[in-house]
Structure 1
Amino acid sequence: MPQSAKTEPAATAGGRRAAAQRHRVRQDLAAAAMRLFSSQGYEATTVDEIAAAAGVARRTFFRHFRSKEEAIFPDHDDTLVRVQAVLDSADPREHPLDTVCRGITEVLRMYAYVPEISVERYRLIREVPTLREREIASVSRYERLFTRYLLGHFDEDAHRDGDDDPLLAEVAASAVVAAHNHVLRRWLRAGGKGDVEAQLDHAFDVIKATFGTGIGSGRIPSKAASESGSASASRQGEVVVAVARTDASPAQILRSIEEALRRA
């Protein structure tokens, strides 16, 4: 067996161990920061105290975080990578809004993974303006990512008069993030109790009903989409026939009928 074949699994395993160790240290630092912020206040807590409470040196803290406020959000960078992976691996037949909704669900799961920490973090963020600003900056990265994605996935045949592609993409992306934030805050105010993913799914239904017709599966050419069963209509005598995809929402079907009537 070639030497490279023997060493590759060991190198891969070593990389996984290093990543796991890095994750543990980040989590330990974040937990220590949370405890100290809660017990003695954010302003009174120093980086040296956080590092000491986590059992690491000051320089180790700065290998993982640039500042003490960043330590309270240890998972956003990794979650952004997971969200990007959801977008990159999406089935070309999936509605792009469905893809974006699956992406933001990864963010929700980050908060829901350890509810008690997320609830305490929410309390601190409400009290400390610096932390609120940090969270807003973190959330804006997801919104920019979703806007770029939706800009590339418009179905021209599904647009209504007056639609503006960049505006629609940005507003839809903002709506997805706003829905996530609304559901998340409500769940956190309730102490992290209840099925938060089910609540988010309900919010997604509202968004898809509102924006679903203007944004289509842009990776599939319009002609192919039409042949595969996207919304269309024809008039036969006094009868107007409207055809919609089987996965269309009631609001999308209704709009297809309205458009068919206007064209008739």
Structure 2
Amino acid sequence: MSQPVKSARTLAAASDAHDTPGSRRAAAQRLKMRRELAAAAMELFATKGYEATTVDEIAAAAGVARRTFFRHFRSKEEAIFPDHDDTLVRAQAVLDAAPAHEHPLDTVCRGIKEVMRMYAAAPSVSVERYRLTREVPALREREIASVARYERLFTRYLLGHFDERAHRDGDDDPLLAEVAASAVVTAHNHVLRRWLRGGGQGDVEAQLDRAFAIVRETFGTGIGAGRARSEEAPEPDRAAGGKAPAAAATAEGEVLVTVARTDAPLDEIMRTIESALGRRAG
């Protein structure tokens, strides 16, 4: 029976607990061996085919014994993804070290960049691995499982900024957290696939930044809004019979700030904005 995959936090804690020069050398040697086994596996998969390649052949090609292979990987399909555990630890470290003032969605975007950098560090290897995963269902399933680990990590982080026990009607933070985490991963994967299909050419981080800008624009202002409405509830508009106005707009210097209830009709919001702009023009 295969052993359960350790969580990123568990792996990070273990790394911190043994962060000595000796342990760092051992970790570097471990990663080097994993990469050598992965390179051997990919070459054999490409020449012999995935189904025809055995673990014994992979081990022999890497110049190690079969038992050494199984100290590093549980199966041959796992062998072509040697860096995911270490990358998950680095992504977790980004989340753990996030400054208090940073928007959690920005933190998650920085965290998943560690994944992109893993692929970008060896473009030719990444392109070949992408080709193999398209051809071999077992490898594709392994890749999907790896992506799911990142998505769980980022969802937990975003949800950690909201108290689900305090969920209220009209407060969609938990839903937004899950959808936003999925959107970040989807944006990353979209850019990664496009880059791989193009042969690993171009500035993939710049492409990723453009994709993240779309995610932030779509979800960034929504996360935390429900909590803010509760903590900073506006005074009721007495002229409206004790009910807060559907929309209000104020001008601050060159900036027009508009606040609207989630159930406010769009035409009413637009009339409020137009009225405020008209007052400034006058």
- Fold agreement, TM-score > 0.5: yes
Cα distance, 1:242 vs structure 2: 5.5
Distance (whole Å) between structure 1 residues aligned to residue 90 and residue 194 of structure 2: 24
2:173 pairs with one of 140, 161, 165: 165
- The letter for the 1-side match of 2:134 is R
- The letter for the 2-side match of 1:259 is A
Distance (whole Å) between structure 2 residues aligned to residue 148 and residue 217 of structure 1: 19
Q: For 1:81-140, what per-residue CA distance to the aligned partner results, in whole angstroms no more than 9, with x for missing partners?
A: 111111110001001010000011100001111000000000000000001110001100
Q: Which aligned segments of 4 or more residues in structure 1 are displaced greater than 4 angstroms?
A: none
Distance (whole Å) between structure 2 residues aligned to residue 112 and residue 82 of structure 1: 15
- 1:30 corresponding residue in structure 2: 38
- 2:77 corresponding residue in structure 1: 69
- 1:248 corresponding residue in structure 2: none
**Does the Cα contact within 8 Å between 2:37 and 2:62 map onto a contact in 1?**
yes
Listed as ranges, the matches of 1:33-182 within 5 Å are 33-154=41-162, 162-182=170-190
- The letter for the 1-side match of 2:62 is A
**Does the Cα contact within 8 Å between 2:151 and 2:185 map onto a contact in 1?**
yes
- The letter for the 1-side match of 2:32 is R
Cα distance, 1:216 vs structure 2: 3.8
Give the structure with higher Rg (CA).
2
* Secondary structure class of the residue paired with 1:257: strand
Give the TM-score taking structure 2 as reference length.
Answer: 0.74
**Does the Cα contact within 8 Å between 2:162 and 2:174 map onto a contact in 1?**
no
Give percent identity, aligned residues only.
75
Unaligned runs of 5+ in 2: 1-18, 164-168, 238-247, 262-267, 273-282
Using CA pairs under 8 Å that are at least 6 residues apart, name the structure with larger relative contact order, 1 or 2. Answer: 1
Give the TM-score taking structure 1 as reference length.
Answer: 0.78
Distance (whole Å) between structure 1 residues aligned to residue 171 and residue 158 of structure 2: 14
- 1:241 corresponding residue in structure 2: 250
- 2:193 corresponding residue in structure 1: 185
Distance (whole Å) between structure 2 residues aligned to residue 131 and residue 217 of structure 1: 41
